[in-house]
Amino acid sequence: MPSDRLQEPSFLILSALAGGPMHGYAVLQEVGELSRGSVRLRVGTLYGALDRLAGEGLVAVDREEVVDSRLRRYYRLTGLGAERLEAEALRSRRQAEAALRRLRRRGSAAEGAA
């Protein structure tokens, strides 16, 4: 498993797919919801990321279907992708908890100095 950190769009794409297989447009919508609107992926960016994540073995094509004469491809999170997502989520949580502890100590020290 690569030790480099997942970029936010990749983290959100993997998080979206953790809920089950989705087609590209559904992934775009889910990423928007997960980020509370702060990340809006462009279609080209999404498919480039999905290709890269598939190349790393983190996502795979689940199935394809034709809808309104267009091919709709569904992607799913792989076992390796779930492991990588969990590792990144735990790393982020540890860092956030460390920051919050420091802020609480800072607040306590500031109150004591006042």
Mean pLDDT of 7-11: 95
Q: Residue 62 burial by CB count (10 A; 0-12/13-18/19+): exposed, middle or buried?
A: middle
Of the two residues 111 and 87, the one the predictor is more confident about is 87
Higher per-residue confidence, 50 vs 2: 50
Return the higher-pLDDT residue of 51 and 4. 51
pLDDT of residue 65: 93
Please report, rounded to a whole number, the percentage of residues in the chain having pLDDT higher than 90.
83
3-state secondary structure of 4: coil
Q: What are the tokens at 111?
A: 């109150």
- Check pLDDT > 70 for residue 2: no
- DSSP string covering 42-79, please? -HHHHHHHHHHHHHTTSEEEEEEEEETTEEEEEEEE-H
- Asked if residue 54 lies in contact with residue 114, where contact means CB atoms within 8 angstroms, the answer is no
Q: Which CATH number fits domain 8-113: 3.40.190.10, 1.10.10.10, 3.10.20.30, 3.30.2040.10?
A: 1.10.10.10
Q: Parse the chain into domains and list their residue ranges.
A: 8-113
Q: Which of 73, 71, 75, 74 is nearest to 54 (CA)?
A: 75
Q: Read off the pLDDT of each residue in 10-25 and give the average, rounded to a whole number.
A: 96
Q: Would you state the structure tokens that stand for residue 72, as one six-digit string?
A: 């709709």
**Span 13-18, mean pLDDT?**
98
Give the residue-averaged pLDDT of 34-48: 94
